[in-house]
Structure 1
Amino acid sequence: MYNDIIEAIIDSVSCRSYRLCVVGRPKVPSPNLKYQQHDVYGHNGAYYDKNGYEDVPYTLTFNYLEEPEVGTFKYQMRKIRQWLYKAERLELSDEPDIFYTIKKVEIGDAENDIVEFGYFEVTFTLAPFAKVIENSPLEYTKGTENLEVVFDNRSIINSEPKIILYGSGDCTVYLNSGEAFGFTAIDESITIDSERKLTYKTDSNGAHMNQSAKQSSNAYPELVAGDNTLVVVGAGITKVEIWRNALA
């Protein structure tokens, strides 16, 4: 049973930590498709090409109420603004399995009729879709034989995964009978980050070393919504991890 009081959790910090409450129940954000219009002489109406999705403006109203000894609202607002302007990730307590990526923050003027009380609006510009929270990747152990697995991607549109190959030598990855992704001279591991369009190896200190010269093309794997089939060819690969980056 969900609590009717909604918390906004920004960069893992609840709004309650700043003595803020979200006013009402927030709307559910939905992205709009971007269209390119083509008018053809002699034809009724127009033709439209779908061209991705727009970012989503999303407004939350916060109020603040505290005992005077904690500090005036104006004093606390300085701390609140500092927290909000750095925001990168938004979660809502009634959607515990997803988060939104914040691209921009705009804070409206605050109303402050009483010393210890205030309220204000914050408009976040969010990436078009929320992301499903993954606490751990899909993990598959591989022997010398080819690995073939089918897994579900509970995303509403295609998503850009992060695939980590462990082992050594050459390897080819096939996804959904589509393009082959080849990699040469893998040394311990290689990470294919489709979202960031990066190919790298992570060293013992957590630093990323560019490995793009080891991949056969500039293309990156993409998962479809629903079932996906992954085939990994390469006798020296011992384990595969998949972060699906599913979108909601």
Structure 2
Amino acid sequence: MIIIDNKKIEELQLCLSERPAIPTPEQDVEFIEIKGRNGSLTKKYGFKDMTYSLTFDFLEDTPFKPAYRKAKLALFNGKKLAFEDDPGIYYKIKSVSVSEAENEIMEFGQFTVEFILAPFAYEETESKIITSQTTLTNPGYESEPLIVVHCTGTGKVYINNKSITIKDINGTMTVDSESMNAYRMDNGRIVNLNHHMIGDFPVLGQGKNVIKFDGDITKLEINPRWRWV
């Protein structure tokens, strides 16, 4: 069954018309023909957003029109799509379009929802506190972690053979590789700290990732955000 933001669709008086397919992203690939070369030159880029459609029926003995209104509200506000038979995994909802409902019979209603999903399946992960050299093993595709750096000056964070410099920070700084933003929350307000970070936003590659730090950094909190294609 489908779960929208931790709410099972049965709670919205809905059921699926048929068992859903598993979303899979398409990679953006460019093939370049070069005269005199055998075969084409292939360039692989990122993955495209996924278009994913589901058709819903209303449960028996459900007042159709009020249930349809409530279902649309939940769907349009939805941020996560998950499957009950795949616990701990979710898809990020980027947008939703809902078709007009078929209502030829008073007690029956059916409609189709087209989701635009980000191109990965994400694991529900928690932050890990790192106080010394640590190895994190990524079981899936390259991930874009969320890192909270605790620092009393300047230091470097190393992930394998790459590093970022945290400069002149007294307190904490959040490095969000997904949004490519470095900041601190101050009484609910986002304080931009991108000018205090030098280097590319870190990623965790598939397999082992050796993580360490130096200088005035005292510890890291890393949410690895494991993801799959």
TM-score where L is the length of structure 1: 0.85
Whole-angstrom distance in 1 between the partners of 2:201 and 2:68: 44
Q: In structure 2, how many angstroms separate the alpha carbons of the residues matched to 1:237 and 1:43?
A: 51
1:138 maps to which residue? 128
SS of match in other structure, 2:71: helix
Shift in alpha-carbon separation, 1:185–1:44, aligned structure 2, 3 A: closer
Secondary structure of 1:82's counterpart equals helix
Deviation at 1:175, TM superposition (A): 0.9
Shift in alpha-carbon separation, 1:43–1:240, aligned structure 2, 3 A: closer
Cα deviation, residue 233, structure 1:
0.4
Unpaired runs of at least 5, structure 2: none
Distance 1:212 1:245 in 2: 21
Show the counterpart of 1:198: 181
Matches within 5 A, 1:62-77: 62-67=56-61, 71=63, 73-77=64-68
Q: Distance in 2 between matches of 1:197 and 1:246?
A: 17
- Tell me by how many angstroms 1:44 deviates: 4.8
1:54-109 residue CA offsets vs partner (Å, 9 max, x unmatched): 11111112110242xx63x1332122222212222111111111110111212223
Superposition pairs for residues 1-248 of structure 1, below 5 Å? 6=1, 8-67=2-61, 71=63, 73-134=64-125, 136-141=126-131, 147-155=132-140, 157-178=141-162, 180-203=163-186, 205-217=187-199, 219-234=200-215, 236-248=216-228
8 A contact 2:13–2:67 mirrored in 1: no
Aligned-pair identity in percent equals 35
Q: Provide structure 1 residue ranges, at least 5 long, that are not aligned to the other structure.
A: 1-5, 142-146
**Runs of 4+ displaced beyond 4 Å:** none
Q: Deviations over 1:132-164 (max 9, x none)?
A: 111x211123xxxxx311111222x21111111
TM-superposition CA deviations, 1:173-225 (whole Å, max 9, x none)? 111112x211122211111111111111223x3432111121123x1111101
Which letter maps to 1:84? L
Distance in structure 2 (CA, Å) of the matches to 1:186 and 1:79: 47
Conserved 8 A contact 2:156-2:217: no
Q: CA RMSD in A?
A: 1.7
